[in-house]
Structure 1
C-alpha cells in the first residue's frame, strides 16, 4: 500500500523528508530552511549512518531537496520536471544552484526527493546530467521517488509519527479519482447541445438562501448560474438513469469526500466563492483528465452545490 504523499502540502512533505534523512544520515540533519536564492535545503555534515550503505556511506556535506507535487501518477521523466530542452524544468532550475554550492565548497553529496515515480532508466540519465552540469561526482548524486519513500516507510513506519503529520492540520485536499471517472463517463452527454425540453431547472431550495447560508457573493453566484445552471438538468438526468449506477456511486463517493473536508476546513474560508475556486484549481492541477475538462468540472461542482450535496443547506442552518 502506498502512502498518499499528494495529500500533503509542501511543508508536511518536507517534514517527512527530514525524518527520512535523519533515519538515513543521522540526527544531525538540519531542517529545511530558505536559502539565499529562495531554495529550501536540508543539510547534513559528517558521515552518514546508513546511506547509501553502512559499508560505504556518504561523507562530508550532504544537501537534501524535497520537490512535492499534489498531482497523481507523475514521473521524474516528465518534461516539466527533468526536460533538458526545458529551461524552466525543475532540474534545469536546480543545476545553477547546485553548481554554485560546488564552486563554494559547500556541498559534497546531493539527494533529491519527490513524490514522483522514478523509472529504472530515468535515474541514471538525470543523475549523469546533474554530475556533468554541476561538477559533483556521479556517485554523490541520488534521486528518491515514491518507490524509495514507500520502501523506507514500510521499514520505518514510525517516521510518519515523527514527522507529526496530521491530515486535520493540512490544507483542503480532496480526491480527484471519483469525479474524474464521472466526468469521463458523462462528458459526451454534457458536451452535447442542450435540448430545449431539458433546459428548465427547478431549485431544490432557494438558491439565494443557499448562497446566503454559505456566504457566496451575489456576483459570484450570478456568474456560476450563467455558466453552469443549464447543465444541471442533464447531470441530474444522467445520474438518475439506472444504467449509470456505477457513475452515481462514484459521484456519491466524491460528494462524501468533498463535503467532509469542506466542513472540516470551513473556518479557513471566508466565502464559498473561495471554496469553489479552490476546488476547481486544485483538481485541475492534480488530475490530467480534469485539466482537459475544466468547464465540465466546474459544471459538476456547481451541480454538487446547487443540489445541496456540498456546502451548508439552509434547512440545516436553520436547525
Structure 2
C-alpha cells in the first residue's frame, strides 16, 4: 500500500520517522527537538536492536534526521537536495552539522529519512560523499527514501495508524465547512501567491490538450487526475450553490490573482508540474489552516479543480481543435 507522504506536515513526518526508528533501534530513541545549531534531530544512544541487523547492530550515538517536502515525486538526486560541489543544498547544510557533531564526539552513526525517491546509484554517491566529508565509515550511514519507507510500513503495520497516515487512494470527503475554510484561507493569502489563471471564461478543452500546451508531464498529470478528479464535481456543486455566492466570488478573485502571478513569474523552462508544486509550497508556508493534514489534501484538490476547470494555466485555441 502506498501513502501520500507529501500530505503530512513536517511534524507528522518526524513522528513517522520516530516510530520507525523505535522499531529499528529501540524504544529509547529520543524524539525530534531543536538543536543548538538550529537543526532538529532525534537521537539514540546504545546498541540498536535490529539495525542494520541483529547480528551486527550499530552501537554508540545515532543521530536521526527527517527531511520532508510537500512536493510530489521528488528525488534525492535533485540539485536543491544534493550537489557535492555546494554547501547550500539541503544535504550540504546537513553535512556541516554532521561534521560538527563528529568533531565533538557526539555522533557515531547517522540516519537520514526523506519522502523522496532514492536510486541505488545516488545512494552510494551520497553515502560516499558524507563519509569523505565527515570522516566516518559508509557502514555507519543510512539513507532511506519512499521505497524503503513503504517496506518499513509493511514490516511494522501498526505505524501508519499511529500517525494517521492515509493511503494514497483513500477517498477525500469534502464538507462545505472544510472547503469554505480552505477557500477563505487561500483568499487571505492571495497577495502572496505566485501562480496564474485565465481571466476570461473559456470553453472546456481536453485534458491531454491542456497538458500539452502547459507542458505538464504525463506522470504528474496522471497522478493529479487519478487522485483528485473524483472531487471536481463536489467542488463545482459547492461553489454553484446559491448560499455560497460569496465564496464563489472569493474563489474567482483568487483565480485572477493566481493567473496574473503565473503569467508574470513563470520561467520559460519550467513545466507546469513545477508551477503547481511551487504554489502548494507557498500556500502551506503562508497559512496555518492550509498546513493542517486534512486541509492540505483539500487544498490540492481545489488547485487541481482550478486547472481542470481551465481557471488556471494556458488554454489551447478551441477553434484550432
Q: Equivalent residue for 1:141?
A: 141
Q: Equivalent residue for 2:162?
A: 162
Task: Quote the offset at 1:166 in angstroms.
Answer: 7.3
Give the 5 Å matches for 1:193-272: 228-230=198-200, 232-234=201-203, 236=204, 252-253=229-230, 255=232
Contact conserved, 1:6 with 1:115, CA < 8 A, in 2?
yes
Q: Give the aligned CA root-mean-square deviation in angstroms.
A: 4.5
In structure 2, the CA distance between the partners of 1:136 and 1:21, relative to structure 1 (3 Å rule), is: same
Q: Equivalent residue for 1:187?
A: none
Q: Whole-Å Cα distance in 2 between the matches of residues 48 and 261 of structure 1?
A: 52
Q: Equivalent residue for 2:11?
A: 11
Q: Equivalent residue for 1:89?
A: 89
SS of equivalent to 1:81: coil
Task: Quote the offset at 1:157 in angstroms.
Answer: 0.9
Q: Which runs of 5+ in 2 are unaligned?
A: 175-179, 210-221, 240-249, 280-301, 312-321
In structure 2, the CA distance between the partners of 1:227 and 1:154, relative to structure 1 (3 Å rule), is: closer
Out of 289, 294, 306, the position equivalent to 1:301 is 306
Contact conserved, 2:199 with 2:256, CA < 8 A, in 1?
no
Task: Quote the offset at 1:256 in angstroms.
Answer: 5.1
Contact conserved, 1:74 with 1:117, CA < 8 A, in 2?
yes
Task: Quote the offset at 1:138 in angstroms.
Answer: 1.7
Q: Whole-Å Cα distance in 2 between the matches of residues 55 and 159 of structure 1?
A: 25
Q: Equivalent residue for 1:30?
A: 30
In structure 2, the CA distance between the partners of 1:252 and 1:99, relative to structure 1 (3 Å rule), is: closer
Task: Quote the offset at 1:141 in angstroms.
Answer: 0.6
Q: Equivalent residue for 2:117?
A: 117
Q: Whole-Å Cα distance in 2 between the matches of residues 160 and 12 of structure 1?
A: 11
Out of 267, 273, 281, the position equivalent to 1:290 is 273
When normalised by structure 2's length, the TM-score is: 0.61
Q: Whole-Å Cα distance in 1 between the matches of residues 236 and 16 of structure 2?
A: 28
Q: Whole-Å Cα distance in 2 between the matches of residues 140 and 260 of structure 1?
A: 55
Q: Whole-Å Cα distance in 2 between the matches of residues 61 and 123 of structure 1?
A: 22
SS of equivalent to 2:199: helix
Task: Quote the offset at 1:5 in angstroms.
Answer: 1.1
In structure 2, the CA distance between the partners of 1:104 and 1:72, relative to structure 1 (3 Å rule), is: same
Q: What is the CA deviation profile of residues 166-189 of structure 1, one whole-angstrom value per residue up to 9, with x for unaligned ones?
A: 79xxxx9x9xxxxxxxxxxxxxxx
SS of equivalent to 1:153: helix
In structure 2, the CA distance between the partners of 1:120 and 1:256, relative to structure 1 (3 Å rule), is: farther
Task: Quote the offset at 1:44 in angstroms.
Answer: 0.3
When normalised by structure 1's length, the TM-score is: 0.61
Task: Quote the offset at 1:54 in angstroms.
Answer: 0.1
Contact conserved, 2:197 with 2:255, CA < 8 A, in 1?
no
Q: What is the CA deviation profile of residues 96-147 of structure 1, one whole-angstrom value per residue up to 9, with x for unaligned ones?
A: 1000100111111000001111111111111111011112222111101111
Structure with higher Rg: it is 1
Residue-pair matches, total = 237
SS of equivalent to 1:84: coil
Q: Equivalent residue for 2:285?
A: none
